A and B are shown apart, each in its own frame.
Chain A
Amino acid sequence: MEQIEQRKIDGLWLTVVGIAVLFFLILPTLIVIPMSFSGASFLEFPPTSFSFRWYAAYFTSPEWMSATKTSLIAAIMTTVIATPLGSLCAYGLHCSTPQIRNTVQFLVIMPIVVPVILIAVGVFSLYAKVGLNYTLTGVVIAHTALALPFVIVTVMSGLRNYDFDQELAARSLGASRAVALWTITVPQVKFSIQTGAFLAFITSLDEVVISMLVSGGDNATITRRMFNALRDQLDPTIAAISTCLIVVSVTVLVGVQLIGRRKNIDE
C-alpha cells in the first residue's frame, strides 16, 4: 500500500516537472510573436494594444531589407552548394573502406562541435589574406563549410538504411555507375538529401558569430544587424523580425516532418 502511494507521488512529481520543463522550453521561444503585434512604442509584455507598426517599420527600413536580402541569398547559395557537395561526400564515404570512412567522417563532423568562435576568428584571418571579408562570397563559403557536416550526416544515415545491392544489381545489368547512382540510389535517399538541404538553409540563416566578424557594410547579414541592435537597445522592430525567423524555422521543421511522414506511408 505504502509503495503504491509512493509511486503515485513519484509519478505526479515527474508529470509536474515534465510539463514545467516543456513550457520553459517553448514559452520564451514563442513570446516574441505576441510582442511583435504590440501597438506601444516600447517593449511591453503582455501587449496592451494591437498593431502592425513594427512589421511596417521592418519592411520599410532599407537597412533591414538589405540585410534580409543578403541573408536569404547567402542561405539559398549555401543550400545549393552544400547539398550536392555533402551528398556526394556521403556517397563517397559510404562506398569506401571502413578505415577511411571512420577517420574522414570524424573529421568532417568535427565542425559541429568545434567552438564557432574559433572557426569565425580563423575564417576572418584567412579572408583578410585573400580579401574576402565583407563580401557575400566570403559569407557563403564559410556557411557552406559549416552546413556541410549536417548534410553529410543526414545523407550518410539515409544511405545506411538503403539496400546498396539495388545499385549493384543495376550496374550488373549494364548501367554505368553514374546512371545507377542517379536513377536508383538518389531517388531512394531523397528524403535524407532534402532534410540535409533544410538543415543547411537554417544553419546559414541563423548563423551569428561568423557573420558578425566576416560580413559587414552592404553585405551585413540580418543576424549581424540584429546582434548589434540588441547590444544597444531593445528595439521592438526586432520582435517582428524574430517572428519572421521563427515562421521560417517552423515551416522548415514542418516540411521535414511532412516529408518524413510521406516517406513512411510510401514504405
Chain B
Amino acid sequence: MSTVDTKFIDQSTQNINILKSEERRETITIFGLSLPAVLTILIVVFLPIFWLSSLSFYNAAGELSMENYTRIFNSALYRRTFVVTFQISISVTVICVLLGYPLCYWLCKFPDRTAGVLMVFVLVPFWTSVLVRTYAWLVLLQRNGIINSSLMSLGVIDEPLQLAHNLTGSIIGMVHIMLPFLILPLYATMRGIDTDLVRAALGLGSSPRGAFWRVFFPMSLPGLFAGIVLVFILSLGFFVTPALLGGGRVQMLAQRIESTITVYSNWGAASALGVVLLLLALVMIWLMNRVFSLDKLFMR
C-alpha cells in the first residue's frame, strides 16, 4: 500500500514538473515572437543613444572627464541655446493649452458623430507631413505673405511685420504642429467624464462657472497633464520647424546638436547636449506615464 502511494506521489510530482517546464517553454516561445521587434528597437534606437551618451564623458584626448559638461554650462553660446529652447517650449505649451482646452470643451458639447466629423479638422493636420505644414507657414508669414498684406490693407499696420525667420515664426509654426498632441489625450479624457456629475452640481445650486471649475475641470486634469507633457517633450527636441521658420536666427537644442556634429564634428560636446536632452525627456516621460498610459493616445 505504502509503495503504491509513494509511486503515485512520485508520478504526480513528475507530471507537475513536466507541465511546469512545458509552460515555461511555451512562455519563452511566445515571448520569442516579440524578440525581432524588440531587438530592432534596442539595436537601432537605444544602443546608439547609450553609446553616444558614454562618449560625452571623454575629452578630446580620450580621457575620462566632465569637460564636455562644464563647457556646456560655462559657454554663453550653449546657455543661450538652453534659454531659447525653454523659452520656446514653454510659450508653445502655454499657447497650445489656451487654444486646445476651449476647443476640446466645445467639441464635447456635440454628439459623438458630429464631434467625430469635427475631429477631422484635427486629424488631417496631425497626419500631414510636418515639412508640408512648415512650408505653408513660411509662405503665409513671409514679408509679402497673405497675413502681412491683409493686415496692411485693413490698415492695422503700415509696413510688413517680421513674422518668419525669427522667434515669432518658430513659435507660430510649432503651435500648429503641437496642438493635436495636446488635443488628442485631452479630448479622450473629457469624453470619458460623466456629465451627469456637472448636472448634479447645477441641480444642487452651483453656478455654471462654479460647476465647471469645481467639477468638470478637475476631472479633465489627467488628460490636460498628459497633453502638456507630450507637447513640452516634443518641443524641447523639435528640429524641423525652428530650423526652417527660425531662418538660422533661432537655435534650439536639436539644431545645436545637429550643427555640432555636421559642421564641427564635435561628438563629445554634441553627446553631452544629447544626454541633457535625453534626461529631460526621460523625467517627463516617467512623470506622464504615471498619470496617462502612452498607448492610450493612439487607441480609438
Q: Report which A residues bind B (CB closer than 8 A).
A: 3, 6-7, 10, 14-15, 17-18, 21-26, 28-29, 31-32, 35, 43, 45-46, 85-86, 88-89, 91-93, 95-97, 100, 104-119, 121-126, 141-142, 144-146, 148-150, 152-154, 156-157, 195, 199, 202, 205-206, 208-209, 213, 223, 226-227, 230-231, 234, 238-239, 242, 245-246, 249-250, 252-253, 260
Contacts and interface: CB of A to CB of B under 8 A. Distances in A.
B264 interface: no
Contact of B124 (A92, A113, A141, A253): A253
A96 B237 contact: no
- Report whether over half of chain A's contact residues are helix, strand or loop; otherwise say mixed: helix
B142 interface: yes
B84 interface: no
Contact of B33 (A6, A92, A145): A92
A204 to B, nearest CB: 11
Contact of A25 (B121, B137, B230): B121
Contacts of A115: 233-234, 236-238, 254, 277-278, 281
B215 interface: no
B263 interface: no
Nearest to A23: B121
B138 to A, nearest CB: 6
Interface residues of B, number: 87
Contact of B106 (A14, A113, A118): A14
Interface string B98-131: 0110110111010000000010011111011111
Interface stretch (B45-53, B64-72, B151-159): B45-53
Contacts of B262: 213
A31 B139 contact: yes
A118 B45 CA distance: 9
Contacts of A260: 300
A102 B243 CA distance: 37
A117 B258 CA distance: 8
A256 to B, nearest CB: 9
A209 B102 CA distance: 32
